[in-house]
């Protein structure tokens, strides 16, 4: 069920029976010369909608702009400051609780959002407002990602390329895959920006001239479909696990 397609009386019937919502979160930022800036939020929304279709749980509209200041040197990247993003996500989630939602999955496809979504979830749980967790698609299937790609990225690499080839093939500049590979770096290690145990880089531009890592020519739509199906299964199982728990068991334990 997609919230934006429903009327308020129909949504009222949902809230009578269910208390879980999926909130897709991504970014609008550079993904190299071959992928659209919408890459992350397209992936997040696809997962959230598919899981909602399979389970009947509620999917909210997508948060399209996230914490992406580290890509600011590349044309078109949009971002909000981390504290603004945290405040927005917390407010949005508290809004959902007004309607009876008490479990939220942030269906996330942008690494820059991860620590901030985790912090928001911790705040909401601490005051027992809701149980909200961040879910990152590739982290749910790490073995498959490693099996499919020799150099998977991370950013703008073959795993994201394969996902967009599968979900929105018309947006992939297939004639630029070699350019993306040759103008970027295979990995953060190859960028040699970790010095004596310290991450000396702050921005994507510190690591790679064209904004991406990995071998994009290793991506195919078929691999994207395998990734999508496997990760969707994990997301569905997470939703079912959360829905089956007693709310009290999801809240902080008493002091020892």
DSSP per-residue letters across 8-45: HHHHHHHHHH--EEEEEE--B--BTTTB-TTHHHHHHH
For position 153, what pLDDT does the model report? 81
Q: Give the pTM.
A: 0.96
Q: d(Cα 181, Cα 158) in Å, to the nearest integer?
A: 9
Length of the chain: 256
Task: Give per-residue pLDDT as tens, 165-207.
Answer: 999 999 999 999 999 999 999 988 888 888 999 989 999 999 9
Longest dimension (CA), the chain: 61
- What region does 56 belong to: left with phi over 0, alpha with psi -120 to 50, or beta? left
The predicted structure's pLDDT at residue 209: 94
Q: pLDDT (tens digit, 9 = 90+) per residue, 34-91? A: 999 999 999 999 999 999 999 999 999 999 999 999 999 999 999 999 999 999 999 9
Let me know: does 214 contact 186? Beta carbons within 8 Å.
yes
Q: How high is the pLDDT of residue 187?
A: 87
Given a cut of 90, whether residue 152 has pLDDT beyond it is no
Using alpha carbons, select from 72, 3, 16, 235 the residue that is nearest to residue 139.
235
Per-residue model confidence (pLDDT) at position 177: 97
Q: For the chain, list the domains and their CATH numbers.
A: 3-250 (3.40.50.10310)
Please report the pLDDT score of residue 28 as a whole number: 98
Q: Alpha helices, DSSP H only, in 153-220?
A: 158-167, 177-183, 188-191, 204-207
Instruction: Determine the pLDDT at residue 129.
Output: 97
């Amino acid at each position: 069920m997609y919230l934006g397609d429903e009327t308020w009386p129909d949504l009222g019937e949902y809230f009578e029976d269910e208390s879980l919502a999926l909130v897709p979160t991504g970014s609008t930022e550079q993904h190299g010369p071959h992928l659209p800036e919408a890459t992350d939020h397209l992936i997040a929304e696809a997962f959230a909608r598919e899981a909602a279709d399979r389970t009947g749980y509620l999917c909210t509209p997508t948060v399209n702009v996230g914490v992406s200041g580290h890509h600011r040197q590349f044309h078109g990247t949009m971002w909000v400051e981390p504290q603004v993003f945290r405040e927005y996500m917390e407010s949005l989630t508290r809004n959902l609780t007004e309607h009876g939602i008490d479990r939220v999955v942030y269906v996330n496809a942008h690494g820059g959002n991860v620590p901030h979504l985790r912090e928001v979830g911790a705040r909401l749980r601490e005051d027992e407002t809701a149980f909200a967790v961040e879910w990152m698609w590739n982290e749910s299937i790490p073995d498959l990602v490693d099996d499919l790609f020799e150099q998977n990225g991370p950013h703008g690499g073959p795993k994201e390329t394969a996902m967009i080839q599968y979900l929105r093939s018309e947006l992939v500049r297939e004639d630029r895959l070699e350019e993306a590979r040759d103008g970027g770096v295979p990995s953060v290690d190859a960028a040699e920006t970790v010095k004596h145990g310290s991450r000396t880089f702050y921005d994507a531009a510190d690591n790679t001239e064209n904004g991406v890592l990995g071998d994009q020519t290793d991506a195919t739509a078929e691999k994207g479909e395998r990734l999508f199906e496997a990760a969707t299964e994990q997301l569905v199982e997470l939703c079912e696990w959360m829905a089956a728990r007693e709310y009290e068991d999801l809240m902080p334990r008493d002091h020892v």
